[in-house]
Amino acid sequence: MKALVIDDSRVMRKIVSNVLVGVGFECIEAENGQVALDQLEAHSDVVLCCIDWNMPVMTGFEFVVAARKRPEWRNVTLMMVTTEGEQDQIVRALAAGAHEYVLKPFTPEVIIAKLQFLGLVDLKEMA
């Protein structure tokens, strides 16, 4: 399974990738929303995107809006991973088509639990 980790911080991309690799994903990266769109075009087997909000060139929110316009990416799970924690921001992101929302700071278990709920990771495989 392939995941796309989108964050302008290399540190954060590394942290998120490590969590995902630990549960069986292969990870590719993008440092802003525009590069992320390019990556999705190039890799048709991405099933999950972990998306930061505040990035240069194109924000994570703008990426979600753009990605949801593409029917061929309907089945890609979009998970925000961000410090933007106001209620309004969470509502906006979900309304725009994000499936999940992780607040920074987070533990690996937080992301894994959400992936389980989404059906992307099977509990039994964890044993």
Partner 1 sequence: MTIPATWEPLSDADSVLTIAQDLFSTMIDGEPGHLYPWMGERPTLEDPRFTWVDVAGSVATRVMLMAGRATGEQLTRSLLAMEESEPVSDADFADAVGEIANVVGGNVKSLVTNPGALTLPVVTHEEPDMSKDFCLLETYFGWRGAPLGVALWALTP
Partner 2 sequence: MTLTAETFDFVAALVRRNSAIQLERGKEYLVESRLAPLARSAGAADVDAYVRSMRADVTKHDIVVEALTTNETSWFRDLNPFTVLRTTVFPDLKARNKNSVRIWSAACSTGQEAYSIAMIIADNFPSVQANIVATDLADGVLVKGRSGRYTQLEINRGLPAPMLVKHFERQGPSFEISSQLRSQVVFRKHNLLDSPPAGGPFDIVFLRNVLIYFDVATKREVLKRIQGAMTPGGYLFLGAAETTIGVDESWERIQVGSSSVYRPRGKRV
Per the listing, tokens 């937080």 go with 110
Q: Verify binding: residue 54, partner 1, rule CB under 8 A.
A: yes
Residues in contact with 124: Cβ distance below 8 Å, sequence separation at least 6, in sequence order: none
Q: Verify binding: residue 15, partner 1, rule CB under 8 A.
A: yes
Q: Verify binding: residue 82, partner 1, rule CB under 8 A.
A: yes
Q: Verify binding: residue 8, partner 1, rule CB under 8 A.
A: yes
Interface with partner 1: number of residues (CB under 8 A)? 18
Whether residue 72 contacts residue 39, with contact meaning beta carbons closer than 8 Å, is answered with: no
What is the sign of the dihedral through the CA atoms of 67, 8, 91 and 77? positive
Q: Verify binding: residue 84, partner 1, rule CB under 8 A.
A: yes
Which residues of this protein are in contact with partner 1, per CB under 8 A?
Answer: 8-12, 14-15, 54, 56, 82-86, 104-107
